[in-house]
């Protein structure tokens, strides 16, 4: 098993940036694909980005591509989501999640472990 804890959320003005962190403990972090998802009020949880076990492959949703960057530091058991050019539509609770297998996977139900989420609020 792996336990995940997100941090770095907060309030930011439109056009600003935030960096989210996902700290892992438990079984070897480097054996897991990591994904970032988000859920806005009244909406379903949606995929934002994912990264393969050693960071060689990264995938993004169309809504964040070019603005968000996913990365990981396996030596620190931590994954990151750098978010730039934020807009009101990015307001959501952001979750990191872990799974084994391919990182080319935007389906939330195929991720086995989840953090508690961190709130990101973008003021327009």
* Residue whose tokens read 């327009």: 124
d(CA 37, CA 90): 11
Q: Tell me whether residue 79 is exposed, middle or buried, using C-beta atoms within 10 angstroms of its C-beta: 0 to 12, 13 to 18, 19 or more.
A: buried
d(CA 80, CA 34): 10
* Exposure string over 21-35, b if 16+ CB within 10 A, otherwise e: bbbbeeeebeebbbb
Cβ neighbours of residue 107 closer than 8 Å, sequence gap 6 or more: 47
Residue 48 pLDDT greater than 80, yes or no: yes
Residue 93 pLDDT greater than 80, yes or no: yes
Average pLDDT of the chain is: 96
Q: Give the pLDDT band of residue 26 (cuts 50, 70, 90).
A: confident
The pLDDT value given to residue 30: 94
Helical spans, DSSP H, in the chain: none
């Amino acid at each position: 098993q792996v336990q995940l804890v997100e941090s770095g959320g907060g309030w930011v003005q439109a056009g600003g940036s935030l960096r989210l962190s996902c700290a892992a403990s438990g079984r070897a972090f480097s054996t897991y694909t990591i994904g970032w998802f988000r859920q806005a009020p009244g909406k379903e949880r949606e995929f934002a980005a994912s990264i393969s076990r050693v960071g060689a492959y990264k995938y993004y949703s169309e809504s964040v591509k070019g603005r968000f960057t996913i990365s990981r530091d396996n030596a620190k058991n931590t994954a990151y989501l750098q978010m730039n050019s934020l807009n009101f539509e990015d307001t959501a609770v952001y979750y990191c999640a872990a799974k084994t297998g391919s990182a080319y996977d935007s389906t939330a139900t195929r991720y086995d472990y989840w953090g508690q989420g961190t709130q990101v609020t973008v003021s327009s």
